[in-house]
A and B are shown apart, each in its own frame.
Chain A
Amino acid sequence: MLLIPCPFCGPRPEIEFVYGGEAHIARPADPSALDDAAWAAFLHTRSNPRGRHAERWRHLHGCARFFNVVRDTVTDRFAEHEAGG
């Protein structure tokens, strides 16, 4: 069971959260200006690191807010978090 540090509610069990995938992937402001490769990179390509991973979670069954957090994908240890999406 992950104990996920919600920046608004404190550490809460994993079952209250929904995973939102890699953080800091912004939808391009003007998709029609992108070529296919750039659009595919936004939609499908991920860093998928072994180690520190910046990711989004949503505390759906709590405050329902999104936040970003850095977790180690090997040890599952959470490093830091920030509000916002």
Chain B
Amino acid sequence: MTYSFLRLAAEALRGQTGWTPAWRDPEPKAEYDALVVGGGGHGLATAYYLAREHGITNVAVLEKGWIGSGNAGRNTTIIRSNYLLPGNEAFYEHSMKLWEGLEQDLNYNAMVSQRGVLNLVNSDAARDAAARRGNAMRLHGVDAELLDADGVRAMVPYLDFDNARFPIKGGLLQRRGGTARHDAVVWGFARAADRRGVDIVQNCEVTGIRVSNGRVMGVETTRGFIGAGKVGLAVAGNSSRLAGMAGMRLPIESHVLQAFVSEAIKPLIDCVITFGAGHFYISQSDKGGLVFGGDIDGYNSYAQRGGLPLVEDVMEAFMALLPLAGRLRVLRSWGGIMDMSMDGSPIIDRSPIEGLYLNTGWCYGGFKATPASGWCFAWTMAKDEAHPLNAAMRLDRFASGALIDEKGAGPYPNKH
């Protein structure tokens, strides 16, 4: 069923009784051409682009829970392409361009809102770094503006500009950045993939990967064995576990990242603001809640909940940036498990096992990458080689030394 104004009007007249489920709930078949493990944004986007770009429609997405139950429903919904390094910037800009056309493409309202992403700078050194990054972006044809303190004050006058510890000296603004509705993104991809014949199989946990003579044969699941010549893993924080089922060890650590939402207030923040000095980012949802987050807790974790020391740290940053936070109440907090890679950049690549592909290492920047990650992973799975956009996101870069260390932090996954 195609969604349109006419359909909406027709349904309004007959009491909304004609809507059908957005996607089918099929029994898994015994054999597929390709399997995608993980029904999050990246997995669903992969299946969608496999069908749309490469004509591979005999595909299933296997999800252990339900669509939107993992990190797809736990992020802070920010989209941007303000990266420095050549291996990253072209990829994230491709993602930004896909976001810009996504809703028409999927026939689904993902509420993509290009409200601007403003990275504040609090010191002369930070301004130099922001100028350098902005220039790198513009060399890649991406919009970037360096604002002085007055420019920032005109946009967001309610910040604590004269904070004694972190005075606001300016900011790097990407106007095309913004937010998207995270649940709608996965629902839209699931529906669009389903319409092209992809089976979305929920409540189907992969318990083993069958490999024979160095080739993948399929996966064992809680709903029986499913055969496939190509298997792509897009399982975020569970990447090490799934790769372990095929006998591989990855340069990944799983860490918990918390996010928060305040009670709903009247419109206040009309862009995304990030505060590098305290590592804090905030935007306002359409319902009015302030959505914000900070660092990971810093130790290996598979628990989808974090600890109070980090909560205190995030609230301190919030107060330092926006003293009005002291009058707000926090509505909810939650945690998601991040696949922290050793250089802070992702891996979209073949694995040493023929027919098994890896999509991992997103750290806590996976949401914005959703369309391009699926697009590039589909390309890699269909053609058995990387697209130029993900050519640098190789698994063997950790041995070759060609790391993509955006932050220059070294091999410490809890520092990215």
Contacts and interface: CB of A to CB of B under 8 A. Distances in A.
A39 B252 contact: no
Contacts of A1: 307-309
Contact of B251 (A46, A73, A74, A75): A46
Contacts of B412: 21
Interface residues of B, number: 26
A22 B250 CA distance: 14
Interface residues of A, number: 28
Nearest to A15: B309
A30 B251 CA distance: 22
A45 B249 CA distance: 6
Contacts of A46: 240, 249-253
B76 interface: no
Contact of A44 (B241, B251, B254, B301): B251
A73 B254 CA distance: 9
B300 interface: yes
A59 interface: no
Interface string A31-52: 0000011011101111111110
A44 B238 CA distance: 17
Contacts, number: 70
Given A45-B251, A46-B252, A47-B249, A40 B303 contact: no
By DSSP majority rule, is chain B's interface helix, strand, loop, or mixed? Answer: mixed
B380 interface: no
Interface string B236-263: 0010110000000111111000000000
Contacts of A39: 399
Contact of B342 (A22, A44, A74, A75): A44
Interface in B237-293: 238, 240-241, 249-254
Contacts of B253: 21, 46, 48
B308 A50 contact: no
Contacts of B400: 36
A14 B309 CA distance: 8
B363 to A, nearest CB: 14
10 shortest interchain CB distances as A-B pairs: A44-B251, A48-B240, A40-B399, A44-B342, A44-B398, A36-B399, A50-B302, A19-B299, A40-B398, A73-B302
Interface of A: 1-2, 14-15, 19, 21-22, 36-37, 39-41, 43-51, 53, 55, 71, 73-76
Given A44-B411, A50-B302, A51-B302, 18 more contacts: A2-B307, A14-B307, A14-B309, A21-B300, A22-B300, A36-B400, A40-B399, A45-B250, A46-B249, A46-B252, A46-B253, A47-B249, A50-B238, A53-B300, A55-B300, A73-B302, A75-B303, A76-B303
